[in-house]
């Protein structure tokens, strides 16, 4: 397996190793360890595990896209063609990215056997050059309530499709143009390294339903620093009792490195009463398996990575923490489990109360009973 960078560094072409002889050929379609190792060599982030495989068939001339899902249901996609040929396109819709609004186009076909890795934060589409079977793996489940898209023929993107499509469905034709794309609508996370504005891009995930809160704009906060706490509290106060959200934290720095400052009721939506961190977790060990009656927390993976599984009693969500400028806010009555700790993981937890065993719900059946009361 060999990974090739495109003109958007986060999007990579994967060339598999193919073994051929007189009988035919053999190749590994996917190997997670090799994929992760190759991403590390290119200094690219490791994505969440793939949770869904999709297979579509498109007749020659069919165009699908440009599609994406809003956070916290954004999808990374590993795409490939097993029969036929397609021109595959990824468009960067991450507002803070240096390649925002740029696109990559790659031909995938049954002969070159190439795959394309498209991380979260991109709109995706393809044009079937001939009758085509298209496979793709995703890092999050399909959710029709948060799917969205951009016009395939957007004049600002100016994608150079190899031929004019002969078939596009009604929904894809009705997508907005790129200039109408509100960054809070795309709401895709991007690691912030040297940013001097406080830009809080919440996951807008209220009670594990699909309510999208307004974005707190960096421009408004920059011009009125004294109102930071009031605006943050106002946004969070609109949530239901049971909620979680991903919050970007300001990072400032220079050539020596970066710094993140954590302040109660500014970028931390509560008074901090307790801080602890989890580290040196042994391989194969999972933690958590509880909920809190009243406690509120913010989880930050300051090194390494881990998977957080959340459950409000009705819906479940998986969150990958691997960025020290990203915090996972947990309100009360959310069942949480922590899995897949990397060897170097350091998970810091900020809480609004001191330790109180009576606040814990350690039995899942009891948690469900309380939720349903």
Dihedral, CA of residue 25, residue 29, residue 30 and residue 35, to nearest 10: 60
Structure tokens at 102: 């740029």
Residue 27, number of CB atoms within 10 A of its CB: 11
Identify which of 122, 126, 58 has the alpha carbon closest to the alpha carbon of residue 87: 126
DSSP 137-160: EESS---TTSEEEB-TT-TTT---
Residue 138, classified by CB atoms within 10 Å of its CB into exposed (0-12), middle (13-18) or buried (19+), is buried
Rounded Cα distance, 209 and 96, in Å: 26
Structure tokens at 4: 């090739």
3-state secondary structure of 126: strand
Rounded Cα distance, 357 and 354, in Å: 10
Catalytically active residues are 67, 136
Please check whether residue 71 is in contact with residue 65, taking contact to mean a CB–CB distance below 8 angstroms: no
Please check whether residue 20 is in contact with residue 120, taking contact to mean a CB–CB distance below 8 angstroms: no
DSSP at 180: G
- Location of structure tokens 């209220």: 206
């Amino acid at each position: 397996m060999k990974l090739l960078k495109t003109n958007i560094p986060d999007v990579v072409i994967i060339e598999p190793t193919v073994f051929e002889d007189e009988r035919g050929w053999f190749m590994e379609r996917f190997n997670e360890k090799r994929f992760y190792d190759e991403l590390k060599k290119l200094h690219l982030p490791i994505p969440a595990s793939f949770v869904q495989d999709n297979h579509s068939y498109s007749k020659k001339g069919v165009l699908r896209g440009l599609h994406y899902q809003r956070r916290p249901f954004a999808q990374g996609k590993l795409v490939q063609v097993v029969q036929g040929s397609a021109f595959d396109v990824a468009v960067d819709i991450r507002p803070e990215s240096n390649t925002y609004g740029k696109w990559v186009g790659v031909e995938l076909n049954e002969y070159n056997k190439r795959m394309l890795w498209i991380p979260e934060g991109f709109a995706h589409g393809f044009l079937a050059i001939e009758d085509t079977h298209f496979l793709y793996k995703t890092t999050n489940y399909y959710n029709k309530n948060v799917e969205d898209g951009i016009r395939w023929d957007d004049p600002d993107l100016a994608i150079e499709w190899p031929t004019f499509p002969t078939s596009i469905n009604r929904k894809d034709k009705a997508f907005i143009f790129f200039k109408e794309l509100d960054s809070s609508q795309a709401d895709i996370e991007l690691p912030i390294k040297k940013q001097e504005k406080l830009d809080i891009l919440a996951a807008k995930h209220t009670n594990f339903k699909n309510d999208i809160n307004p974005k707190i704009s960096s421009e408004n906060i920059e011009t009125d620093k004294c109102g930071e706490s009031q605006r943050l509290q106002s946004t969070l106060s609109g949530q239901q009792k049971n909620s979680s959200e991903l919050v970007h934290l300001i990072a400032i720095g220079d050539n020596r490195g970066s710094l993140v400052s954590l302040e109660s009721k500014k970028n931390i939506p509560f008074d901090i009463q307790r801080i602890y961190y989890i580290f040196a977790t042994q391989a194969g060990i999972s933690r958590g398996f509880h909920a809190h009656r009243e406690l509120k927390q913010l989880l930050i993976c300051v090194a390494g990575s881990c998977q957080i599984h959340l459950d409000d009693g009705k819906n479940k969500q998986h969150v990958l923490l691997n960025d020290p400028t990203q915090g996972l806010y947990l309100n009360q009555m959310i069942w949480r489990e922590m899995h897949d700790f990397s060897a170097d993981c350091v998970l810091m937890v900020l809480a609004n109360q001191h330790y109180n065993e009576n606040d814990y719900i350690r039995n899942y059946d009891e948690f469900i009973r309380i939720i349903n009361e």
